[in-house]
Chains A and B, each alone.
Chain A
Amino acid sequence: MEAVHFDNVRYSYREEGGEYAVNGVTLTVREGEFVAVLGRNGSGKSTLAKLINALLEPTSGTVTVFGMDTLDEKKTFEIRKNAGMVFQNPDNQTVASIVEDDVAFGPENIGLPREEIGKRIDFALKAVGMEQFRHATPSRLSGGQKQRIAIAGVLAILPKIMILDESTAMLDPKGRREVMEVVRRLNKEQGMTVILITHFMEEALQADRAIVMHNGEVVMDGAPEEIFARSEELESYNLTLPRAAYICKKLQEAGMSVGNAFTAEELAEEICGSLQKG
């Protein structure tokens, strides 16, 4: 089933036309898919994310979430219930001073009864592996932990789609791994549709599909391996290959007979294989 559909969507931050941050995007995300959206700063990838849950309304074209038009104000609430969004800065999306109160914020907003909210908090904190921090203060947690709490806050609403708008950009490598691990698990185990906005190429490898944006347009769309195989094209959009893929490409150029590899593990295997043969 179609989870999100963009039909020739344009969006401009300025009232009268001008530059389009999103320029004629047509795109479909199916339910259960894990899509990574790549692009350099200002490529329109964050704008794309905000168009999905009606934080922004398209200047022209239509965005639908499970068939609901984001321009229909009566559907806004329902759309946001279905499409949860985690933002970049963990400090700026926490509402309360206690973890459980913060996770409860979403369920409270959609008017759930108390017992149900309690269950949702249990579920959400367990899903992100933060049960033992239920009564902690977010400001004393690490970046990765804060971001997992933010994910729990969104999960507690039980959305079908999770949008992560550069949610790992401000984290250290450990925090980034923690968050990515949670996201991947949600996608695989709960069948959650994930739209991951990022500029870390390595993260895109965990997705089923990668979309590259450039100047507000979708310029590449396919399996991550497929996208990274077209390295010259990628470079023309100011994006680089994942480090392992880059090393692999250089080895190939230097004449070593290694197959395409994208992660460090794959690369190690390819090199071993090549060495054994030779």
Chain B
Amino acid sequence: MMNDVTFGQYYPAKSFVHSMDPRAKIVLSIAYIVAIFLANNFFGLAAVTLFLVIAVAFSRVPAGSVLRSVKMILFVIVFTAVLNLFFYSSSDELHVLVKWWVITISWESIINMIFLAMRLFLLVLGTSVLTLTTTPVALTDGIESLLTPLKWIRFPVHELALIMSIALRFIPTLIDETNRIVSAQKARGANFETGGLIKRAKAMIPVLVPLLVSAFRRAEDLGDAMDARCYSGSKGRTKYKKLTFGWRDAIGLLLLAGLITGVVFLNIYFGGKFAILNYFL
């Protein structure tokens, strides 16, 4: 039932990346995203890709599982890529290939499309390495710990982290529930498969309403259960899992610092993404 939701699903294994501190992994992921957007030519993206390949290799997560995470947003990537292909406009002089009505395809727009698609791919793949190797609990612990400074301005860090981990914990439960409701409505003759977009969206109402009602009931039950287990906010609360920054994290951060420096040098050395055209045209 859950097979097609790889994004945000933990892949249990014992590896270098799995045993890294979630805080280090979160910081690394953010820095990795920065590197993706910092790179302004294909050599930079190649460097980022190399880093990603190393990370996946050391995570012992099968490449297939990592790639599957792209499936969910493949449509978004294709859609933006196509839009960029047709409507790319720039003040630069363009090497136009096709010009028809409002659509212009040029060498530049092709390059731009490939570049954009690569960026999005790398973005999704990189972040899914984080979620595949880090349990949702560790992830929220990491976020809570990283956001600790915000406690000074009375930002409810603990509450936010708890809300996040509970939300993650209820995803499979609510998916099961949705499937159950869909089956129940189908049994009563509801039709989800045919009809236009609006008709199908309308058909979802009898699913969403009971789902929402049951979510509220579950929330109330959970509140009682948490009360019964002595929950009274972050005050006087201890944590069982302690986060420790280790040598693996240091290596990871060093590698990433190297990557960002490399990307910056490649940017300066090879120039922008269109510089590649000079070799061909």
- Contact among A104, A135, A153 with B240 in the assembled complex (CB-CB below 8 Å): A104
> Do A111 and B238 have beta carbons less than 8 Å apart?
yes
> Do A95 and B169 have beta carbons less than 8 Å apart?
yes
What is the minimal beta-carbon distance from B3 to any residue of chain A, in angstroms? 13
- Note all chain B residues with C-beta closer than 8 A to A92: 218, 221-222, 225
What is the minimal beta-carbon distance from B147 to any residue of chain A, in angstroms? 18
> Do A55 and B169 have beta carbons less than 8 Å apart?
no
> Do B230 and A106 have beta carbons less than 8 Å apart?
yes
Show 18 A/B contacts (Cβ-Cβ < 8 Å), sorted by A. A55-B227, A80-B228, A80-B229, A84-B228, A92-B218, A93-B222, A97-B135, A97-B168, A100-B240, A106-B229, A106-B230, A108-B237, A109-B230, A109-B231, A109-B232, A111-B238, A139-B172, A150-B225
Tell me if B90 counts as interface (CB < 8 A to partner A).
no
Size bracket of the B interface: 20 to 34
A108 to B137, CA, bound (A): 14
> Do B228 and A89 have beta carbons less than 8 Å apart?
no
Given A97-B165, A105-B229, A109-B229: A87 and B238 interface contact (C-beta under 8 Å): no
Interface residues of B in 120-149 (CB under 8 A from A): 135-137
Tell me if B236 counts as interface (CB < 8 A to partner A).
yes
> Do B169 and A117 have beta carbons less than 8 Å apart?
no
Given A77-B232, A97-B135, A154-B229: A89 and B221 interface contact (C-beta under 8 Å): yes
A110 to B228, CA, bound (A): 12
- Note all chain A residues with C-beta closer than 8 A to B165: 95-97
> Do B169 and A96 have beta carbons less than 8 Å apart?
yes
- Contact among B173, B224, B231, B239 with A87 in the assembled complex (CB-CB below 8 Å): B224
Contact with B along A107-127 (1 / 0, CB 8 A): 111111110011001000000
Tell me if A98 counts as interface (CB < 8 A to partner B).
yes
Tell me if A91 counts as interface (CB < 8 A to partner B).
yes
A225 to B149, CA, bound (A): 62
Interface residues of B in 202-258 (CB under 8 A from A): 218, 221-222, 224-232, 236-242
Given A81-B230, A96-B165, A97-B168: A111 and B240 interface contact (C-beta under 8 Å): no
> Do A112 and B238 have beta carbons less than 8 Å apart?
yes
Which residue on chain A has the smallest CB distance to residue B172?
A139
Tell me if B166 counts as interface (CB < 8 A to partner A).
yes
Tell me if A207 counts as interface (CB < 8 A to partner B).
no
> Do B224 and A95 have beta carbons less than 8 Å apart?
no
- Note all chain B residues with C-beta closer than 8 A to A80: 227-230
Which residue on chain B has the smallest CB distance to residue A83?
B228
